[in-house]
Structure 1
C-alpha cells in the first residue's frame, strides 16, 4: 500500500524541535517494558459471554507479539501491508497491533458492528491483505460474512478466524506455532521495523458525504497525544486502565491499548458492556482509570447505587463523545467517588481538550475542557476571522497529534498551509480557554458515542419504493445523548411504518446501530425556496414533540 500522508513531512521539523514528536514507536515502548518490568501483569482480557479470562505479563506479551509477527510474515504480510482487525476487546486485538508493528504492517481496526455494506468499502479502499475476525460474536457469524465478501476483494488473501477450528484459525496460523523460534525469526523481526513517521494505523471515520474516510496516523502523531493526555490525568505505571469502549474506536485503541504500554501500566479489557461485570472487574483488578461515553457512565453510576457495591479503586472516569449532563456528574461523583473528566476529540487527533483533575466539577458539564499541550484551538466566523471569547463559530485546531491525511483523499484533508484543521464542528471558547461544542456543521448524529453517517442512511432510504423524501435527524435521549429519527414523505398511494423501514435497512446490510429508532411520516418537508430540506426545523419540532 502506498500511503499519501502528505500532512506529516511539512510539520516534522517544528514538532520535533518543540519536543512534541519524540520519535518513539510502540516497539520501543514494549521493549522498554520487557527490560524494566518483564514479570509485571500487562494485560487482562475478559470475555463476558464465556467468562474466560486471559492474562499476559510484559515478557509474555512481547513473546506472543513476536510469534504472531512471524506468523503474519508467513502469510505474506510485509512492511506497509494492511491487516484489518474486526475483533471486540479481546487479547487477540492488542496482540495483532503489536505483531503488525514488529514487521512494519499497518493495523486497520474495524468496529464489530460493521456488516457487508461498510466492510466491502473499507476493505477494498484500504486494500487489506489479511482480515482477522471472530468466528462468531454475539450470535453473528463473521467468518461467513467475510468469506462471502472475499471474492469481490482482490487484495484480500487471508481470512483468519478467532475461535475457529480449521486451517484458517488464529491459533493454527498465528498464536499456536512457536514461530519466534524459527531460524529466520530474528531477521523477520528486525528487518522491517517501522520508523516513527511511518503509518501505523488506518482507521475509518463515519462518512458525512456518503463515504467513510481512512484516517492515517503515525507513531509520532499518536504518541504526541497520549503523553500529554496521561500527564494531565496524572496517570503512571501504578495505574490499571479498564477499557470497555471498543478498541476499534480511537478511545479504546489509543488509551486502552497503547497508553498502558507507554506508561508500563496494566490494561484490563471488557468485550461486552455489562455494568455489573465492570464493577466486578474494577474491584478484582483494582482499576483506577477508565474512559467511555456517557451511557457507560450512566450505567455504572446507576448500578453502583442500586447494588451498593462500591468501586473504591476507581479514581478517574473520563467521559467523551457527547456533553455530560450536570445531574449525571453529580450522581456519578456521589456514587463512584471518582473524578469525572469531560473531553472532546476526533479520530483525526485523539483527545483535543480535557478538563483538569483540579477543576471544579461544573467545568465537566459546562465545558469540554481546555487544549492539551501541543494543541491550539480557535473559533472563527464565516470569513475565517477569529471571534472573541463566548462567541460561537467554526472550530479550527492545530495539533501535534493531527493525522497524516485521509488515504487517497488528500483533497478532503481540510488542513490549510498554516496547519489549521477545520474540524467541521461549531463551538465557543470562554475567557479561560475552555471549549464548548455547540453544534456540528457536518451532518452526523452521535448515538452513545457512535457516529451515525446520516447521508449514507438517507441515501438508502431514498431507494425505498414507498419513500419520496427522507431526512435523518437527531432527537435527545437521556442515556445515549442522541438517537436517530427518520422523517419521511411517502410516495402517493404508499404507506410506510417503522418495522417495514427497519427491515428494509437491515436488508441493505447496514450496521444495526445506524438504523433509525423512530419514524415520523409527513405530507411535506419544511424546505428552502430551492427545495433543500430545513433540518433545523425538523429538529425543533422533534424537541417540541410537534413533528
Structure 2
C-alpha cells in the first residue's frame, strides 16, 4: 500500500523547530517504559460479559507485542500493510497495535457495530491484508460475517479470530507460539520499525455526514496531540485511565491506548458499558481519569447516586462530542465529586480545544474550551474572511496534530496552502479565545432568510424536564425554503407533545421564528459509536415521515 499522506512533509520543518513534533514512536515509548517500569501494571482489561480480567506489566506488554509482531510477519504482513481489527476494548486490541508498530504495519480499527455494508467498503478501500475479529461478541458471529465478505476482498489474506476454535484463532497464530524466541525474530523486529512520519493508523470517519473517509495519522501527529492534552489535564504516571469509550474510535485509541504508555500510567479497559461495572472498576482500580460522551457521564452519575457508593479516586471526567447540559454538570459534581472538562475534536486532529481544570465550572457548559498548545483556530465568513470575536462562522483549524490526509482522496483533504483545515463545523470564538461549536455547516437551517441558532434551541430543549435527547434538523418548505423540526427522545416514563414543547420554548423567551414547527418523538437517536447524533439520518427519517403524511 502506498499512503498518500501529502500533508506531512510541508509541516515537518516548522513542527520540529517549534517542538510540536517529537520524532519518537510508540516503539520508543514502550521500550523505555519496559526498561524503567518493568513490573508496573500497564494494562488491566475487563470483559464484562464473562468477568474475565487480564493484567499486563510493561515488561509483559513489550514481550507479547514482540511475539505477536513476529507472528504477523510469518503470515506475510510487511511494512505499510494494513491490519484491520474489529475488536472491542480487549487486551488483544492494545497488543495488536503495539505489535503492528514493531514491524511497520498500519492498524485500521473498525467499530464492532459495523456490518457488511460498512466493512465491505472500508476493507476494500484500505486494502486490508489481515482482519482480526472476535468469534462472538454481543451474541453476534463476526467470523461468519467476515468469511462471507472475503471472496469480494482480493487483498484480504487472513481472517484471525479471537476466541476462535480453528487454525485461524488469534491464540494459535499469534500468542501461543513463542515467536519472539525464534532465530530470526530480532532481525524482523529491528528492520521494519516505522519512522515518526510513517503512517501507522488508518481510521475511518464515523459518519455524521454519511461518507466515511480514511484518516491517516503518524506518530508525530498523534503525539503532538496527546502530550499537550495530558499536560493540560495534569496527568502523569500515577494516574489510572479508565477507558470504556471504544478504542476503535479516536477517543479510546489516543487516550486509552497510547496516552497511558506515554505517561507510564495504567490503563483499565471496559469492553461493554455498564454503569454498575464502571463504578466497581473505578473503586477497585482507583481510576483517576476517564473520557467519554455525555450519556456515559449521565449513567455514571445516576448509578453512583443510586448505589450510594462514592468514587473518590476519580478526579476528572472529560466530555466531548456534544454540549454538556448545565444540570448534568451540577449533578455530576455533586454525586461524583469530579471536575467536568468540556472538549471538542475530530478524528482528523484528536482533541483541539479543552477547558482547563482551573477554569470556572460554568465554562464546561457554555464553551468547548481553548486550543491546546500547537493548535490555532479561527472562524471565517462565507468568503473566507476572518470574523471578529462573537461572530459565527466556518471553523478552521491549523494544528501540529492535523492528519496526513484522506487515503486515496487528497482532493478532499480540505486543507489550504497555509495549513488551515476546514472542519465543516460552525462556531463562535469569544474574546478570551474560547470556542463554542454551534453546528455543522450542513446543519444550518435558513428559514425565510433567517439563520436559526440550532445549538441554542437544542440547549433549551435539554432543559425541558421530559427531554433526554434532542436535535433540530431542517425539512424543506416551498415558501420559506426550510423549516425546523425537533426530534426528541423523552426520559423514561415521561412524554412530550408539540404544544407542550412550544409553550416551554416560549417560556424560555425564545424568538417565535426559532421555535421548531414540527416535533418527532423517537425511542432512540441514530448516533455514531462516540455518541454524536447523526443528523443526516434524522433528515432521512423526517423526509420519510413527511412523505407518509403527505
For Structure 1 versus Structure 2, the TM-score category normalised by the shorter chain is 0.7 to 0.9
1:475 maps to which residue? Answer: 487
Which whole-Å CA distance do the structure 1 matches of 2:224 and 2:485 have between them? 35
Which whole-Å CA distance do the structure 2 matches of 1:427 and 1:524 have between them? 35
Which whole-Å CA distance do the structure 2 matches of 1:478 and 1:250 have between them? 29
- Aligned-residue CA RMSD in angstroms? 2.9
1:306 maps to which residue? Answer: 306
With normalisation by structure 1, the TM-score equals 0.84
Partner SS for 2:195? coil
1:532 maps to which residue? Answer: none
1:277 maps to which residue? Answer: 277
Asked if 1:522 is matched to 2:542, the reply is no
2:416 maps to which residue? Answer: 416
Partner SS for 1:132? strand
Residues 294 and 479 of structure 1 are in contact (CA less than 8 Å); yes or no, is this contact kept in structure 2?
no
Partner SS for 1:23? coil
1:323 maps to which residue? Answer: 323
Which whole-Å CA distance do the structure 1 matches of 2:284 and 2:410 have between them? 47
Which whole-Å CA distance do the structure 1 matches of 2:433 and 2:42 have between them? 37
Residues 357 and 29 of structure 1: CA distance in aligned 2, closer, same or farther (over 3 Å): same
Asked if 1:199 is matched to 2:199, the reply is yes
2:507 maps to which residue? Answer: none
Partner SS for 1:521? helix
Show structure 2 runs of 5+ residues with no match: 445-453, 456-470, 476-482, 493-520, 527-532
2:48 maps to which residue? Answer: 48
Show structure 1 runs of 5+ residues with no match: 447-451, 459-470, 481-497, 506-512, 527-547
2:163 maps to which residue? Answer: 163
1:374 maps to which residue? Answer: 374
1:286 maps to which residue? Answer: 286
2:386 maps to which residue? Answer: 386
1:414-472 CA distance string (max 9 Å, x none): 000000000000000011100000010146999xxxxx9x9xxx9xxxxxxxxxxxx99
2:93 maps to which residue? Answer: 93
1:59 maps to which residue? Answer: 59
Residues 208 and 443 of structure 1 are in contact (CA less than 8 Å); yes or no, is this contact kept in structure 2?
no
1:140 maps to which residue? Answer: 140
Q: Residue 165 of structure 1: CA displacement?
A: 1.3
Residues 395 and 54 of structure 1: CA distance in aligned 2, closer, same or farther (over 3 Å): same
Residues 295 and 479 of structure 1 are in contact (CA less than 8 Å); yes or no, is this contact kept in structure 2?
no
Residues 210 and 337 of structure 1: CA distance in aligned 2, closer, same or farther (over 3 Å): closer
Q: Residue 212 of structure 1: CA displacement?
A: 1.1
Partner SS for 1:225? helix
Residues 479 and 296 of structure 1: CA distance in aligned 2, closer, same or farther (over 3 Å): farther
**Residues 423-438 of structure 1: pairs in structure 2 closer than 5 A:** 423-438=423-438
Residues 413 and 478 of structure 1: CA distance in aligned 2, closer, same or farther (over 3 Å): farther
Which whole-Å CA distance do the structure 2 matches of 1:239 and 1:399 have between them? 27
1:105 maps to which residue? Answer: 105
Deviation beyond 6 Å, 4+ runs, structure 1: 471-474, 513-520
2:128 maps to which residue? Answer: 128
1:14 maps to which residue? Answer: 14
Which whole-Å CA distance do the structure 2 matches of 1:297 and 1:521 have between them? 32
Which whole-Å CA distance do the structure 2 matches of 1:365 and 1:33 have between them? 37
Aligned residues: 482
Which whole-Å CA distance do the structure 2 matches of 1:479 and 1:78 have between them? 51
Asked if 1:248 is matched to 2:260, the reply is no
Residues 46 and 325 of structure 1: CA distance in aligned 2, closer, same or farther (over 3 Å): same
With normalisation by structure 2, the TM-score equals 0.83
1:384-421 CA distance string (max 9 Å, x none): 11111111110001000000000000000000000000
Residues 201 and 217 of structure 1 are in contact (CA less than 8 Å); yes or no, is this contact kept in structure 2?
yes
1:233-265 CA distance string (max 9 Å, x none): 000000000000000000000000000000000
Which whole-Å CA distance do the structure 1 matches of 2:354 and 2:439 have between them? 18
Partner SS for 2:154? coil
Residues 443 and 412 of structure 1: CA distance in aligned 2, closer, same or farther (over 3 Å): farther
Partner SS for 1:378? strand
Q: Residue 521 of structure 1: CA displacement?
A: 2.5
Residues 171 and 472 of structure 1: CA distance in aligned 2, closer, same or farther (over 3 Å): farther
Asked if 1:263 is matched to 2:258, the reply is no
